[in-house]
Amino acid sequence: MSQLDSAVKQLRSLSLTAAASQLATLVAKAEANEISYLGFVQSLAEHELLQRNVNRIQRHFKQAQFPSEKRLDQFDYRHQTTVTKRQISGLLDFSFIDERQNLIFIGPPGVGKTHLAIGIGHEAIQAGYKVLFKSALALVEELELAEMKGELKKRLTQLSKYDVLIIDELGYLPMSRQSRYNLFQLINSLYEYRSIILTTNKDFTSWGEFFHDDNVAVPIIDRVIHHSHVFMLGGESYRLKQKVNKT
């Protein structure tokens, strides 16, 4: 085995896979440019670090489980005029995450709530944050299952590992009392600790009716709204517009 081959093998067994795969190239470069020993070690370490960062972000994208690829630069503010580009761009310093604030997008179907939530989530991952996307329905089902298995606490802990939890389409379907209680437990465990991005078709004024009878509703709503940026979206459904344009 050549010296290079055995060095590559050693790097591999140290789990320095990016450095291992680039070793030959970096050695050749160092020799050609008469780079110092220290400079060479630095370039090797830098390569490993950069690649690890790329891998980490890729892993975070997978973990986020976005249902579709939506980017903020695909969002048309000429169609959606009830929110401005400046307002959304203003969120991208991610102080809302650092300060554990929430974003709430309220509006009828098709106005871009989910698109904005995913787009912001996408940018947050690029910036190094961990994000998880959940439809409210899936989330409620998951919590119910966990609760039945006596694993609610464990699941809540797992969900609070993410910097941002996107809860999509809360309010479209009625929920059992137990489900609302589980949801309350979740929001409680994230409160002032993590950020939530919530999309909903329900105006706050009708949330009382959604959570009807109960005294669990009020604290849920209070906790979500407290420390939140609320965006009320209106206008025409984008889906409808696309259909109309096609004909």
Q: Whose Cβ is closer to ligand ADP: residue 148's or residue 230's?
A: 230
> Binds 75, which of Mg ion, ligand ADP, none (CB < 5 to 8 A, cut-off by type)?
ligand ADP
Residue 82 sits at φ, ψ, to 5 deg, of -90, 0
SS3 percent helix, strand, coil of the chain, rounded to 5, is 60, 10, 30
The site for Mg ion, by CB under 5 A, has a size of: 1
Residue 136 · residue 169 · CB < 8 Å: yes
Least distance from C-beta 109 to Mg ion, angstroms? 7
Q: Whose Cβ is closer to ligand ADP: residue 113's or residue 155's?
A: 113
Does the footprint of ligand ADP cover residue 112 (CB under 6 A)? Answer: yes
- Residue 117: which of 126, 104, 108 has the closest Cα? 104
The site for ligand ADP, by CB under 6 A, has a size of: 17
| 3-class secondary structure, 58 | helix
Residue 211 · residue 223 · CB < 8 Å: no
Does the footprint of ligand ADP cover residue 79 (CB under 6 A)? Answer: yes
Q: Please give the DSSP secondary-structure letter assigned to residue 107.
A: -
Binding-site string for ligand ADP from residue 183 to residue 212, where x marks contact by CB under 6 A and - marks none: ----------------x-------------
Least distance from C-beta 138 to ligand ADP, angstroms? 15
Instruction: Give all strands (DSSP E) within the chain, no chain letters.
Output: 102-106, 131-135, 164-170, 195-200, 228-232
Least distance from C-beta 118 to ligand ADP, angstroms? 8
Where along the sequence are the contacts to ligand ADP (CB under 6 A)? Answer: 70, 74-76, 79-80, 107, 109-115, 199, 238-239
